[in-house]
Amino acid sequence: QVHLVESGGGVVQPGRSLRLSCAASGFTFNSYAMHWVRQAPGKGLEWVTIISYDGGDKYYADSVTGRFTISRDGSKNTLYLQMNSLRPEDTAVYYCTRGDGVTSAFDIWGQGTMVTVSP
């Protein structure tokens, strides 16, 4: 079965850093682009970032450019999101999702990990 399992969320003070991980299983991780999508409490979904199947291309939403870095380790089938200079508005559930390169859809989602940025 295809699975994505996020970890690394928690409570952090503004200005601090946090690294999220997403462990993939049940599919050929190195063949797919991967995304992070977040959802603030009681709000809608927001696309955050994408990394290509080989890690060569990365794109970010304006709201996180320069502060967040996406990466992947194919040997560990794991996706990462390094979040620096965190702000209260970054408080959200962060979902790891698999990207379909042809349809540009997010076809598999993890259960999410909660990040709370608070003094």
Partner 1 sequence: QSALTQPASVSGSPGQSITISCTGTSSDVGSYNLVSWYQQHPGKAPKFMIYEGSKRPSGVSNRFSGSKSGNTASLTISGLQAEDEADYYCCSYVGSSTSLYVFGTGTKVTVL
- Where do contacts with partner 1 occur on this chain (CB under 8 A)? 35, 37, 44-47, 50, 59, 61-62, 95, 100, 103-112
Q: Closest distance between partner 1 and the C-beta of residue 87, in Å?
A: 18
For residues 61 and 75, which CB has a smaller minimum distance to partner 1 in the complex? 61
For residues 13 and 23, which CB has a smaller minimum distance to partner 1 in the complex? 23
DSSP code per residue over the chain? --EEEEE--EEE-TT--EEEEEEEESS-GGGSEEEEEEE-TTS-EEEEEEE-TTS--EEE-TTTTTTEEEEEETTTTEEEEEE-S--GGG-EEEEEEEE-TTT--EEEE---EEEEE--
Q: Closest distance between partner 1 and the C-beta of residue 47, in Å?
A: 4
For residues 12 and 45, which CB has a smaller minimum distance to partner 1 in the complex? 45
User: Counting beta carbons within 10 angstroms of the beta carbon of residue 101, is it exposed (0 to 12), middle (13 to 18) or buried (19 or more)?
Assistant: exposed
Q: Closest distance between partner 1 and the C-beta of residue 66, in Å?
A: 13
Q: Closest distance between partner 1 and the C-beta of residue 24, in Å?
A: 15
For residues 17 and 111, which CB has a smaller minimum distance to partner 1 in the complex? 111
